[in-house]
Amino acid sequence: MVSALAIDVGSSSVRTALVSDAGVVSHVHQRRLTISSPQPGELELDAAEIGRAVLELADLTLADGGPCDAVGVTNQRATTLVFDPLTGAPVGPTLGWQDLRTVLDCLVLQGEGLRLAPNQSATKAKWLVANAARDAQSLRFATIETWIAWLLSSGASHVTDRSNAAITGLVNVGVDHWDPRVLELLGLDPAMMPRIVDTIGDHGTASALRGAPPITVLVGDQSASMFGQSIVHSGAKITFGTGAMLNMVRGSQGPAAMTPYDSGCFPIVVRSQRGAVTWGLEGIVLSAGSALDWARDEFGIIDDVAASASVARSVSGTDGVWFVPALAGLGTPYWDFGARGGFFGLTRGSSRAHLVRAILEGVAHRGADLVDAAELETHTTIAEIRVDGGMTANEFLVQHLADVTGRPVAVSSEREATTRGAGLMALVGAGFLSVDDVESLWLPTATVDPRLGDDERNSARAQWRTMVGRAAQTIPELSAVSF
């Protein structure tokens, strides 16, 4: 049996594991990362801490179950840093994808004809260079997979793959070179930029690890999650975590521009290999698991997120209560940053259980919004929804998602499918598996069928859209902002 070391750097933790050619994940080690917020809306990490965690956890995983035959790196895509290539040290903080300090930059750049969002890497890199007080040529730009490949290769590889480069806001529509006009507008020197490479390929040797295995995959987390759920040629999945993301395969035909579609979805690179790009789309829910965290930590109506399913099931319905999970605004398809979360239909008889059930039903409806948007964009029907992420342990949520979409929902046997996907993709890159082999490895832990009839489901969806309208434009000046 062959295996790959999967290195999975998320928004708040680092995870390493071995993934076999049968798709089995083992010898897992995980560590939380330090996250700071110097000012409201700002979110910083420490690239040096991330690097130490990767090397230490990788060593533990390989000591437990190694050696490995290949290495795959997956990462939260837009987290951004700059570093000194001579010292190998980061220069300044690492800006997390949720960091909003560059909102004004994005609005100013719209006047230059450049449409960028603050959760992309582009304006984060501009801010980092401006605050480094260094000549840009002496710095190197990195998203997290670039940083990890640099460290693993002992400085030999300064590369980024197409799935990560595609969402930076810095590339041409073919995602094969950096856009010189955008770099110039942002004050980024071309010498800073990593070489854009295939997702699956030869990315150097991990000389910093025991056995010096080859690095055969660099891939963004949502693309890795798709691969981990054996979505390789067609299909869609939703990952339910702090937020929720739907990703769907479209094929070899690329978009006309790297900007959002009218549907509220936007283009992504699923993977590339030997120069061939597989394209997909993405839709985003900004508040999913975070709504339950709020209910526990700030609202106090649940003691344990894991108990929310049993609380929701303790009543037969919400008694007319609705909840719109817009704690950070609404993403796909509405893109209303001024929307705010709210309960609607409260009465003196509304109980804690009604509120908890309404929260879970609201998150499920937002998942259905993503499905509707993806089908509208592609003019196709999603026959089955595959799901992963921590929230999929909540059986009530999964059932209600099936009910309001009218689709069967298949639950990944590996909750953290990004890790599995990075490992399997690395084995494809090393020649031990084919993409078709991975497609055949899908074995969900459960498949949940819808229980609502069409009339009942359509009525519920119509009521939901009315509730979204009530939450919309709570802060009109923010609702007017578009990225």
pLDDT in tens, 210-242: 999 999 999 999 999 999 999 999 999 999 998
Same domain, 141 and 198: yes
Record the tokens describing residue 171, joined without a space.
């590339």
- 432 neighbors 289 (Cβ within 8 angstroms): no
86/381 Cα distance (integer angstroms): 52
Same domain, 210 and 350: no
Residue 467 lies in a domain: yes
Instruction: Report the length, in residues, of the chain.
Output: 483
Same domain, 212 and 316: no
Same domain, 305 and 213: no
- Average pLDDT over the chain, rounded to an integer: 96
Residue 429 lies in a domain: no
Residue after which a domain boundary falls, among 201, 222, 243: 222
198/204 Cα distance (integer angstroms): 13
**Mean pLDDT value across residues 325-343:** 95
DSSP code of residue 112: T
Residue 234 lies in a domain: yes
- Hey, which of 147-151, 289-293, 477-481 has the most confident mean pLDDT? 147-151
Same domain, 12 and 137: yes
Same domain, 332 and 351: yes
Residue 272 lies in a domain: yes
pLDDT digits (tens, 9 = 90+) for 151-178: 999 999 999 999 999 999 999 999 999 9
Residue after which a domain boundary falls, among 200, 222, 244: 222
Same domain, 396 and 317: yes
Which CATH number fits the domain that encloses residue 160? Answer: 3.30.420.40
Same domain, 148 and 249: no
Same domain, 37 and 74: yes
Same domain, 213 and 309: no
Q: Name the more confident of 146 and 97.
A: 146
Quote the pLDDT of residue 380: 96
Q: Which residue has the tokens 């150097």?
A: 204
pLDDT digits (tens, 9 = 90+) for 88-109: 999 999 999 989 999 999 999 9
Residue 263 lies in a domain: yes
Residue 432 lies in a domain: no
Same domain, 213 and 254: no
Residue after which a domain boundary falls, among 222, 240, 273: 222
Per the structure, the complete domain to which residue 285 belongs is given by: 230-411+452-483
What percentage of the chain reaches a pLDDT higher than 90? 95
Residue 420 lies in a domain: no
Same domain, 210 and 236: no
Give the closest residue to 261 by CA, choosing from 122, 380, 374, 120: 374
Residue 124 lies in a domain: yes
- 162 neighbors 175 (Cβ within 8 angstroms): yes
Q: Look at the chain and report how many structural domains it folds into.
A: 2
